[in-house]
Amino acid sequence: MDYAENNKLMEEDIDELKEFMFPLDDNRLKDFMMLSTEDQLNAISLGSFMLKEGKNRYISMKSGENLQLMQQLKTEYEEKILNKDLTVNKLREDIRRIKNGHVKEMSEISQEITEKTKAKYQKHWNDKFEELNNQLEDTQDRMRKLVDTRISQNNSHNEKILMMQRQSTTEKDEIRSVYEEKLDELRGKMEQIVMMSSNSTKKGQEGEDWTFNELLRLFPEAMVEDTHAQGGRGDFIIRDKYVGMVDSKKFKGNVPKRDIKKFKADMENNNEYQYGILCATDHGIAAKSDLLLEFVCGKPIVYVHNARNNPQKILMACNLCKLILKNMECFDVTKEENQLIIKEKTKSLVRIKKKMLKKVQDFSESMIELMDNQWSELDALLKQINVKY
């Protein structure tokens, strides 16, 4: 009979229970609290009996019983104590046996739970492993299809690139042929330029030829006359609604002051000239800023630097002079204060114009750089796919 069955029998035998209150910190109750309910009842029963007998014997001894009775009581008590010790040992053995039974039972239950849990999770992991294998196979199938599709797309893309490369090669050959013809033409012109650059006179002639061609291009509706062979008349005359003189200068450095004086003298000595432009093709003009406006005998004149780098400045200078001439009837330019006002306004207009030209030039350079980068990327791509051109 195990501990649970003992408790069940005890609960059936005891119809009524009574609750006892004990102090928690009393050391005498430590061992008592460790006993089972049955042992506690036995201890209470034994203690009550011994307490009762002790009191009775104490009263008897106190009332004058002899020494023999005391010895007899001592012997009886020793026998009872011995019997109780045997009973306690027997109870302890029963407790140990019950505990061992509980440990064994708990071990068996724990083993059973472990086996059930292991079987449960083993099935779970087997199912999960099978699911992951299925997902892996599906992923591998999709990867194979994706790789096949990508290879097909790459082949199609490579064919397009090869076609574009062949087309580009054809176009480059055509462009090369055109530019080879132009290079031959330019080579001939360069040889002429080299020959013309042998002395300063020929250099000046080249600068005048360039200026003459630019004037024809910039003023297609005007009459452009070449007067460089006529002394004191400047190099060119532009005839449209107004008559203007253009003096072209090409030097290794800036145009010297003696040529500025000569230019002003030509403007003073030719009454038909309404405005004048001193044009330095490759450098600046001494003591004069670019697009500087001045007046000679009430006639507007403009100084142009490095015209070859930006021919549009010649057109800008002519338009500025024509604008002043157009408003001369209501604005007396012979007065010095009016000339100062025009000069200040002109400087502002010139600054704005230069900023506009600079932005256009920066845009052009940026576009050229982007085109070069684009070609470099295409060249790297063609090399990557082993396409020779």
Average pLDDT over residues 257-266: 94
Q: For residues 167 and 362, which has the higher predicted lDDT (pLDDT)?
A: 167
The DSSP element (H or E) to which 237 belongs, if any, is strand 236-239
Q: Where are the alpha helices (DSSP H) in 304-335?
A: 312-326
The amino acid occupying position 255 is V
Q: Order the strands of the 223-226 sheet from edge to edge.
A: 223-226, 236-239, 243-249, 275-280, 299-304, 292-296
Q: How far apart are CA 44 and CA 38, in angstroms?
A: 10
pLDDT at 333: 53
Most confident of 134-138, 254-258, 292-296: 254-258
Q: How far apart are CA 67 and CA 278, in angstroms?
A: 161
Contacts of 80 (CB under 8 A, 6+ apart): 50
pLDDT at 18: 66
pLDDT at 1: 45
Across 108-122, 185-199, 285-299, 327-341, least confident range:
327-341
Q: pLDDT class for 209, splitting at 50, 70, 90?
A: confident
Cβ-contact 245, 277 below 8 angstroms: yes
**pLDDT of 297 over the 80 cut:** yes
pLDDT at 381: 62
Cβ-contact 302, 277 below 8 angstroms: yes
In the numeric block, which tokens belong to residue 314?
A: 């010649």
**pLDDT of 389 over the 60 cut:** no
**pLDDT of 3 over the 50 cut:** no
Q: How far apart are CA 71 and CA 74, in angstroms?
A: 5
Distance spanning both ends of the chain, measured CA to CA: 102
Across 27-36, 263-272, 299-308, least confident range:
27-36
Q: How far apart are CA 290 and CA 280, in angstroms?
A: 10
Average pLDDT over residues 55-77: 70
Across 28-37, 88-97, 151-160, least confident range:
28-37
251: helix, strand or coil: coil
Cα–Cα distances (Å) from 356 to 62, 216, 314, 359, in that order, read 137, 24, 16, 5
pLDDT at 243: 96
Instruction: Report the DSSP beta bridge partners of residue 247.
Output: 278
In this predicted model, what pLDDT tens digit does every residue of 107-139 receive, in sequence order? 888 888 888 888 888 888 888 888 888 888 888
In the numeric block, which tokens belong to residue 63?
A: 């009332």
pLDDT at 163: 87
**pLDDT of 148 over the 70 cut:** yes
Please give the backbone phi and psi of residue 292, each rounded to the nearest 5 degrees, phi first: -75, 135
Average pLDDT over residues 80-103: 85
- % of the chain beyond a pLDDT of 90: 21
Contacts of 2 (CB under 8 A, 6+ apart): 98, 101
Q: pLDDT class for 214, splitting at 50, 70, 90?
A: very high
Question: What does the mean pLDDT of the chain come to?
Answer: 79
Q: For residues 222 and 376, which has the higher predicted lDDT (pLDDT)?
A: 222
pLDDT at 330: 60
**pLDDT of 13 over the 80 cut:** no
Q: What is the DSSP letter of 242?
A: S
Q: For residues 132 and 63, which has the higher predicted lDDT (pLDDT)?
A: 132
Q: pLDDT class for 205, splitting at 50, 70, 90?
A: low
235: helix, strand or coil: coil
Question: If you write DSSP's letter for every residue of 331-368 in order, what string do you get?
Answer: S-TTSHHHHHHHHHHHHHHHHHHHHHHHHHHHHHHHHH
pLDDT at 201: 46
Alpha-carbon torsion (103, 109, 112, 118), positive or negative: negative
CB count in 10 Å sphere of residue 118: 10
pLDDT at 61: 63
Cβ-contact 215, 224 below 8 angstroms: yes
pLDDT at 247: 94
Q: How far apart are CA 55 and CA 279, in angstroms?
A: 148
Q: For residues 199 and 85, which has the higher predicted lDDT (pLDDT)?
A: 85
In the numeric block, which tokens belong to residue 379?
A: 């060249």
Q: pLDDT class for 88, splitting at 50, 70, 90?
A: confident
Residue 85 CA from chain centroid, whole number: 88
Cβ-contact 274, 325 below 8 angstroms: yes
**pLDDT of 198 over the 60 cut:** no
Contacts of 310 (CB under 8 A, 6+ apart): 357
Q: Where are the alpha helices (DSSP H) in 197-224?
A: 200-218
Q: How far apart are CA 330 and CA 332, in angstroms?
A: 7
pLDDT at 9: 47
pLDDT at 149: 87
pLDDT at 291: 87
Cβ-contact 125, 29 below 8 angstroms: no
